[in-house]
């Protein structure tokens, strides 16, 4: 038996009304709605900013900035480095980005078995690092990851 929506509404008005009030949230409510597959950023820190070329960081190499960022993050969060499942570093054209990232992580006390990757992109490399870690968490490949962006334009 097939019924038109208008004849169904006359026969069962409370069902139609109930169904219409259970619409999926939209706008801000949809953004704030909690879901079991949400990925949460629990800590954020950034490297310092200075003038390019002649600024106070012109003689500080990327690996030293990255090392300081790793150390400060581990100190502030009191995170056990062996619990980290993955690290992704977003950067823009440094020399040997993967080597620099691995060396800084090891020097900061992150174990050698923690994998590390780099994203080398002209714009939004740090955001791509966040996206990479978030997707590996959503896929169940990791439960804790570090997404890092580091640049030195000097």
| Torsion sign (Cα): 103, 75, 69, 57 | negative
Q: What is the pTM of this model?
A: 0.76
Q: Which range among 29-38, 43-52, 123-132 shows the weakest confidence by mean pLDDT?
A: 43-52
Report the alpha-carbon distance of residue 71 to residue 113 in Å, rounded. 18
Q: What is the pLDDT of residue 8?
A: 46
Over residues 75-101, the mean pLDDT reads 91
Orientation of helix 97-107 relative to helix 62-77, angle to 10°: 40
Alpha-helical segments (H) within the chain: 5-11, 13-21, 28-32, 62-77, 97-107, 125-138
Q: pLDDT digits over 98-136, tens only?
A: 899 999 999 999 999 999 999 988 888 889 999 999 999
């Amino acid at each position: 038996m097939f019924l038109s929506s208008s004849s169904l509404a006359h026969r069962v008005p409370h069902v139609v009304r109930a169904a219409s009030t259970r619409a999926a949230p939209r706008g801000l409510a949809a953004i704030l709605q909690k879901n079991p597959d949400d990925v949460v950023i629990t800590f954020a820190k950034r490297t310092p900013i200075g003038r390019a070329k002649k600024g106070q960081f012109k003689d500080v190499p990327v690996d030293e900035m990255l090392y300081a960022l790793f150390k400060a993050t581990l100190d502030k969060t009191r995170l056990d480095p062996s619990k980290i499942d993955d690290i992704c570093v977003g950067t823009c054209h440094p020399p040997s980005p993967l080597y620099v990232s691995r060396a800084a992580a090891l020097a900061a006390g992150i174990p050698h078995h923690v994998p590390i990757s780099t994203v080398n992109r002209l714009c939004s490399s740090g955001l791509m690092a966040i996206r990479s870690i978030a997707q590996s968490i959503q896929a169940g490949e990791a439960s804790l990851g570090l997404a890092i962006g580091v640049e030195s334009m000097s």
